[in-house]
Amino acid sequence: MRPAFLEIDLSAIAHNVRTIRQIVGPKVAVWPVVKANAYGHGAIPVSKAALEAGAGGLCVVLPQEALELREAGITAPILVMGPPSPDEAPLIIEHDVAATLSDEAHVAIMAEAARRADAIARVHLKLDSGMGRHGVRPLLVERVVEALAAEPQIRVEGVYSHFAMACAEDLSWTRHQLEQFKAMLSRLPRELMAADPVLHMANSGAIMRVPEAHFDAVRPGAILYGLNPGFDPALMQNLRPALTLRGRLATVKSVEAGAPVGYNCTYRSPRDTRIGLIPLGYADGYPRALSNNAEVLVAGQRVPVVGLVSMDCVAVDLGKVAEARVGDEAVLIGRQGDEQITVEELSARAGTIVEELASRLTGRLPRRYLGAEEGEDQ
């Protein structure tokens, strides 16, 4: 195995699903969001672990993501949250997944695909309650209702929306969106929908902070993986991070005071020391913004990242870890001994969010799964 890899604890995924189910109660389904390769964690093993722990369905954005899950033998309900295209609609119907409709044009696309396949298109209607992204705007509800009423081969199995600021300290816009969603729901004819349509709106922030938004199902994203998307850390105490980024020191070299390290000589050692090189870099998703701006765990101690993060290499100053040798483990995300480096810490240092940092950890990094039979995913 490459001496740099991601370790994914599937027992943490299962634990988080069970914790979320306890939060929302037995009458509310949990539909984890496993788009973007499950935020970099591995869509197939994560989905299987989540379903075994009691998840009721799965959410993706691309039909191709749904197809990957179907080909892996996953038969649970899947919702494609992205808008359908004419080329993708037949794929959605063929593999028995639900499409999202946000516009009259989407109704026409799915209806045409259903007619060609002589099938029923299963869909969820998305309403724009104030996110300003995909979703039917309030002024256009009746037009979309008319379009749906004219298409008997479309079955509306769910209605949903998405919060824009559910992690913000001020929840006033979130509560406005909730009321807007309810008002828009009241304008949808009951006969337009299948029996017992699934209503869902709560993302990670709303699951933890807005219980009145739980409805029939919730869609955990970041918290499924034990990542805090931006609310009070105290709310995360019962959730467990699933991801560890490990590497091994490929080179350990002595440098003298004043010696440069890395491209553009942005770092010069203030003293005689030893530099350790870890064989991963920004091509693996470790942000270049962490250059001279992060720490790594070696021998249970924090050591600083020095110099620019290269495409395939991260340098650390081993001055306070005299015993470090080639082959020793370096933890870039995760726990080693009593110390821990979190995705939250690194994303803050890199000026980004936890979802971006995790999902950009690339396929060059092998995934090693704990608590499952999948083993290593090359």
- Give the residue numbers annotated as catalytic, written as ranges: 35, 263
Q: What's the chain look like in SS3?
A: CCCEEEEEEHHHHHHHHHHHHHHHCCCCEECCECHHHHHCCCHHHHHHHHHHCCCCCEEECCHHHHHHHHHCCCCCCEEECCCCCCCCHHHHHHCCCEEEECCHHHHHHHHHHHHHHCCCEEEEEEECCCCCCCCECHHHHHHHHHHHHCCCCEEEEEEECCCCCCCCCCCHHHHHHHHHHHHHHCCCCHHHEEEEEEEEEECHHHHHHCHHHCCCEECCCHHHHCCCCCCCHHHHCCCCCCEEEEEECCEEEEECCCCEECHHHCEECCCCEEEEEECCCHHHCCCHHHCCCCEEEECCEEEEECCCCCCCCEEEECCCCCCCCCCCEEEEEEEECCEEECHHHHHHHHCCCHHHHHHCCCCCCCEEEECCCCCEEC
